[in-house]
Structure 1
Amino acid sequence: MRATPAPSHTASLFRVPALIRQLRSVLLAACCAMSASASAQPAVDPEGFSGWTDKPGWYHTRDMIVAAHPLATAAGQQILQDGGSAIDAAIAAQLVLALVEPQSSGLGGGGFLLHAHGASVQAYDGRETAPAAATPALFQETSGQPMRFFAAVVGGRSVGVPGLLRMLEQAHREHGRLPWKTLFQPAIRLAEQGFPVGQRLATLLRQERYLADDPEARAYFFSPDGTPRAAGTVLRNPALAHTLRAIAAGGADVFYTGNIARDIVRKVRNHPRNPGMLSTEDMARYQAVRRMPICAPYRQWRVCGMPPPSSGGLAIAQILGMLEALPPEWQIDRYPPQREVGRLVPDPMAVHLISEAERLAYADRARYVGDPARTAPPGGTWSSLIAPDYLKQRATAITERSMGQAMAGMPDGTPPVPAGLPDDSLELPSTTHLVVVDQYGNSVSMTTSIENQFGARLMVRGFLLNNQLTDFAFSATQNGRPVANRVEGGKRPRSSMAPTLVFERDSNRLVLALGSPGGSAIIPYVVKTLVGTLDWGLDLQSAIALPNFGSRNGPTELEADRFPADLQEALRMRGHTLRIAQLVSGVHGIARTTQGDEVRWFGAADPRREGIAAGNDMSSASVPSSR
């Protein structure tokens, strides 16, 4: 049984508006800084670049949260201060993100969550599902050719059953301390009282081509003259406040049945150009799934991530395992970044080795990974893809020169795979990530998404609907073989979301909690940060700020304006074809540090986005609520 918190705890939530007022000035200052640095940048793909703001990193001794927006961080911090658990704080922060970062996540999307109590890890799958009526031809023209991406995205066709609320409710039922309805109050107040539009949202609205076609979205995100809401504009969302009040009172069932579900289905099925197949039955039958995490050793650590239908945990375990299996002269800790003109730049050999390992992992990802309810793992178990002998054999494909494009491997029990068996799944980077540690020994790493920037561009009751079905492969077969990630009714699309928890193998103590948005580039973003901290000894903030790089089994991608010409030439000499891109990660993380006998949590936020960390110290502890 959960005891109701003392009235003083509930009342303290009414201090959130004061925190909001304090943070408005911080947020607007950050907006200006990001705007200034963004002005010199070229046009970008969604979810695009909106500036760079150096972050210092933050220390606290009792608990900590890092989220993608200052107001979301403030909400989570208040919940922690009032005795809430890591899950409680994550829920409160996520609900605020649904309001202030609507292009990235929200009630109309889904996500993946890792929860740990000590070193015991649980994985929660809130991935969207395809309507029961969906077929492999969902994103094909009548000629059988794949649809153009945005022809598929915009409208009802791409909308899957949202999974976020079922996932959060299940995690709260098992690990929450404060009442469910209490966690909704910060977001409800912000939706009613208003919040200042951040620079990132304002920038993405200026880039957006499709959102204004939806009447509800146009009225909310654009002024009557059609111009997008500017940074600093105070925006209110009474429709979302009403929706949140209903769910706070009645639980997730209110969302998945009744009027909200009917309104979602009506919007999807009645789109004038691109209707979808979603039904009220699809909504009512949705269930989140608790799964076994993917945990694998890496040197003196244990690295845990999400299992399928996310490819994140498997791919990261494969990449790290292959790096560890390389010969002594190629061990990645021998190639730390070098300081050039006041900033750290990766060593070209490190970029080469990591990119080659990523090519191999992405080849396996494309061939083998899909919804585990529909796609059998090679050899009958996902562990076949991270078995030490298999990774050692895969690592022998890494040589002095780039392989260009890798082919899938052959884990035990699988037949030979012909070269050139990719799929044409597209996964774009409109996503968010948050991490929390609490005073009770719990930690959370959670990535949530609506897929593309502003999702399907459909707004219902104050929130946007996802376009996650376009994470499926548009083609059902390649080279005569079924694609693992093909569309099927009721199926969950593959993802790259990679919430990650790292533990010391000897002590089982948490070392790191991290993750990132970024679509299919999430995996390289997280790998770079893990290697930066675990192998190169960087503090977490410095590792996040390192220039992004990697390969998704295509060109070697380098973050624009952050790699000197001589490094690029060194990679070309090794056979790399380069693609220079913005690579807008949003890595947020918490690291365990010590000062004498005192444990201190160090929070870090990506300078490429608006996130910050906040927490409470032992001296500010309130009396925790009991269970």
Structure 2
Amino acid sequence: MLQRFLLGLAAPLALSACASVPAPPSASSPSLYDTGMVSAADPRAAEAGAEILRKGGSATDAAIATMLALTVVEPQSSGIGGGGFYVRGGADGAIETIDGRETAPAAATPRRFLGADGKPLPFRTAVIGGRSVGVPGNLALAAKAHAEHGKLAWAALFAPAIRLARDGWVLSQRGHDFLQRQPDTGAHDAAGKALFYDAAGVALPAGARVRNPALARTLETIARQGAGAFYQGPLGREIAGKVAAETPDDGRMSAADIAGYAAKERPPVCGVYRAYRICGMGPPSSGATTVLAILIQLEPFDMAALGPDSPVAWHLFAESQRLAYADRDLYLADPDFVPVPVQSLIDPEYLHARGRLIAPDRTLPQALPGRRDLARAPGFGPPENGTSHFVVVDRAGEAVSYTSTIESAFGSGIMAGGFYLNNELTDFSFVPEQNGAAVANGVWGGKRPRSSMAPTLVYGPDGKLVLVVGAAGGATIPVQVARALIGFIDWRLPIADALALPVLYSPGDTVTIEQGSKLEALIPALAKLGHAAIRKAELPLKTNAIAVKGRALDGAADPRSEGRAISQ
């Protein structure tokens, strides 16, 4: 009944503010840039995308090849067992977005993550096994994007990943660390244990060569037969069977759930910050609305004059996050199931009014949502983790920002066809209602969980592309992207320096300072400004970007990661 009621409320939404800013002129020549470029979280994946660019592939082709290679070399974070969001900008400035977010099995109910006592399950209990697995969307997304914007044959995009899986790849230090920290998921499945751990159950050391013939066979099949081999073939039935067998209750996955999955085109969400047009992914992602809220709320303040060493600048950034995340937690969810007031949430007048709540010399006593036009409650959900991001720009001017994820390290721990299956359903709120009000991000059959992923394109005041950016790192993603944009736009930093900026994360009343960063020295000043709860912690930070400088591309990867930017 609740679902039908919420669906009845849903109305078409004008999600894009793009029409308010003129699009850049069409390219006058076949080549806008001297070379194409890929930036990804693993150099082998970046090289896979660059290889496709060298063969004449489009940015879309290269992005797909990068995603497939990450399935092999970064199994803890992303791949074909998960989903993602794709944001594409054409040479003419037109923006398209595709939602490849995972869906809950049709039989799932709002009580999926509640125990027999009605209380939320412990996070790791919810993660491991079939209860957390959503129907993977990455291959459906890839097929849809390729059909619209691919230049090379579908099978050609799989060649680099197949080669890595078949011939072997060297386990990185980061990969080893994940295996060592998360054996409950990394070695949960016998296939994963055999692939990544020795006979004594010890994680393979960094430098070990890993061959994954099962994944090579899976990729070869999908390369020959298309994405349908994943969704309608034996592999789809295997996935459904393994997930159902490890789902103790509430809505076991079926082969029909897999076969019925569809990636969806969504309207882009765009806004203007200091004359720069910033476009990203709309619901079920909260990325674009949260990034825009953080930025536009800060427009009344002279962030450029304050600079990156000012405690006041970081205080303002913290306060803007608190307000943006209050709206995010209350309103953002799958728009096919609940009405999401996107246009209202990114309205400049609304956000400037929110910004006037921020004071440079004190903190807000409490950061509350700003709109009360829908009766709902904020939900409870554990913090998001994992994910991978990559960006591509080709010589013809096509730009792709693509975030791919299986959620936590090694997802649910279940493997099929040589890859890990996601635990994305733990991105739903574990509590479906509070005080009689529905939680927007509660579980429903067929619904897509809210995401923080924020693949982003930025256009300058002249309408031309200036930056392609995105991040991995769970709920910190919008903050990482907003920080990079402030560094790039306000502080005029080269993109590598903008990505190297420290991160301050404050979605609630606690300010988390990136451990070991220069922000630690600002803690006393932030405390004097009223931030009572400040802690230092390691944060899951991993940003990738490409900046445009005339005909040249300037790629960068987060210095905290193993990522790299590679030209074609």
Query: Could you tell me the TM-score, scaled by structure 2's length?
Result: 0.91
- How far does the alpha carbon of each residue in 1:49-75 deviate from its partner, in whole angstroms, 9 at most, with x for none? xxxxxxxxxxx8311000111111111
Query: In the alignment, which residue of structure 1 is the partner of 2:21?
Result: none
- Find the aligned partners of 2:371 and 2:161 in 1 and give their Cα distance: 49
1:316 matches 2:291: yes
Query: In the alignment, which residue of structure 2 is the partner of 1:282?
Result: 257
Question: Relative to structure 1, is the Cα distance of residues 157 and 194 closer, same or farther in structure 2, using a 3 angstrom cutoff?
Answer: same
Give the match's secondary structure for 1:122: strand
TM-aligned CA deviation for residue 566 of structure 1: 4.4
1:307 matches 2:307: no
1:121 matches 2:81: no
- Find the aligned partners of 2:416 and 2:103 in 1 and give their Cα distance: 19
The one-letter amino acid of 2:262's match is Q
Number of aligned positions between the proteins: 532
- Find the aligned partners of 2:365 and 2:131 in 1 and give their Cα distance: 35
Question: Relative to structure 1, is the Cα distance of residues 404 and 360 closer, same or farther in structure 2, using a 3 angstrom cutoff?
Answer: same
Query: In the alignment, which residue of structure 1 is the partner of 2:8?
Result: none
Query: In the alignment, which residue of structure 2 is the partner of 1:402?
Result: 363
Matches within 5 A, 1:493-504: 493-504=449-460
- Find the aligned partners of 1:406 and 1:169 in 2 and give their Cα distance: 42
Question: Relative to structure 1, is the Cα distance of residues 65 and 523 closer, same or farther in structure 2, using a 3 angstrom cutoff?
Answer: same
- How far does the alpha carbon of each residue in 1:591-619 deviate from its partner, in whole angstroms, 9 at most, with x for none? 0114xxxx210000011111111113xxx
Please point out which of 452, 458, 483 is paired with 2:414.
Answer: 458
- Find the aligned partners of 2:399 and 2:121 in 1 and give their Cα distance: 41
- Find the aligned partners of 1:213 and 1:300 in 2 and give their Cα distance: 50
Give the match's secondary structure for 2:542: coil
Is residue 155–residue 274 contact of structure 1 (8 Å, CA) maintained in 2?
A: no
TM-aligned CA deviation for residue 565 of structure 1: 5.2
Stretch deviating more after TM superposition (245-254 or 387-396): 387-396
Give the match's secondary structure for 1:213: coil
Query: In the alignment, which residue of structure 2 is the partner of 1:337?
Result: 308
Report the identity percentage.
46
Query: In the alignment, which residue of structure 1 is the partner of 2:5?
Result: none
1:530 matches 2:485: yes
- How far does the alpha carbon of each residue in 1:242-265 deviate from its partner, in whole angstroms, 9 at most, with x for none? 000110011111000121011101
TM-aligned CA deviation for residue 430 of structure 1: 0.9
- Find the aligned partners of 1:441 and 1:542 in 2 and give their Cα distance: 24
Is residue 107–residue 251 contact of structure 2 (8 Å, CA) maintained in 1?
A: no
Query: In the alignment, which residue of structure 1 is the partner of 2:353?
Result: 393
Please point out which of 180, 189, 193 is paired with 2:154.
Answer: 180
Question: Relative to structure 1, is the Cα distance of residues 440 and 579 closer, same or farther in structure 2, using a 3 angstrom cutoff?
Answer: same
1:548 matches 2:492: no
Question: Relative to structure 1, is the Cα distance of residues 404 and 607 closer, same or farther in structure 2, using a 3 angstrom cutoff?
Answer: farther
TM-aligned CA deviation for residue 279 of structure 1: 0.6
Query: In the alignment, which residue of structure 2 is the partner of 1:202?
Result: 176
The one-letter amino acid of 1:509's match is K
- Find the aligned partners of 1:550 and 1:536 in 2 and give their Cα distance: 19
Stretch deviating more after TM superposition (118-127 or 210-219): 210-219
The one-letter amino acid of 1:65's match is V
1:366 matches 2:329: yes
1:80 matches 2:80: no
Please point out which of 447, 469, 483 is paired with 2:403.
Answer: 447
TM-aligned CA deviation for residue 415 of structure 1: 5.5
Query: In the alignment, which residue of structure 1 is the partner of 2:557?
Result: 605
Query: In the alignment, which residue of structure 2 is the partner of 1:518?
Result: 473
- Find the aligned partners of 1:213 and 1:365 in 2 and give their Cα distance: 33
Is residue 427–residue 470 contact of structure 1 (8 Å, CA) maintained in 2?
A: no
Please point out which of 192, 197, 217 is paired with 1:222.
Answer: 197
Is residue 308–residue 370 contact of structure 1 (8 Å, CA) maintained in 2?
A: yes
- Find the aligned partners of 1:436 and 1:476 in 2 and give their Cα distance: 38
Query: Could you tell me the TM-score, scaled by structure 1's length?
Result: 0.83
- How far does the alpha carbon of each residue in 1:519-577 deviate from its partner, in whole angstroms, 9 at most, with x for none? 01101111100000000000000011111113112311110011355410000111112
- Find the aligned partners of 1:489 and 1:67 in 2 and give their Cα distance: 33
TM-aligned CA deviation for residue 129 of structure 1: 0.3
Stretch deviating more after TM superposition (180-189 or 566-575): 566-575
Question: Relative to structure 1, is the Cα distance of residues 182 and 230 closer, same or farther in structure 2, using a 3 angstrom cutoff?
Answer: same
Query: In the alignment, which residue of structure 2 is the partner of 1:251?
Result: 226
Query: In the alignment, which residue of structure 2 is the partner of 1:426?
Result: 382
Is residue 158–residue 276 contact of structure 1 (8 Å, CA) maintained in 2?
A: no
The one-letter amino acid of 2:110's match is P
1:143 matches 2:117: yes
- Find the aligned partners of 1:488 and 1:392 in 2 and give their Cα distance: 35
- Find the aligned partners of 1:166 and 1:272 in 2 and give their Cα distance: 24
TM-aligned CA deviation for residue 427 of structure 1: 3.9
Question: Relative to structure 1, is the Cα distance of residues 186 and 276 closer, same or farther in structure 2, using a 3 angstrom cutoff?
Answer: farther
Task: Compute the RMSD of aligned alpha carbons.
Answer: 1.5
TM-aligned CA deviation for residue 272 of structure 1: 7.9
- Find the aligned partners of 2:180 and 2:528 in 1 and give their Cα distance: 40
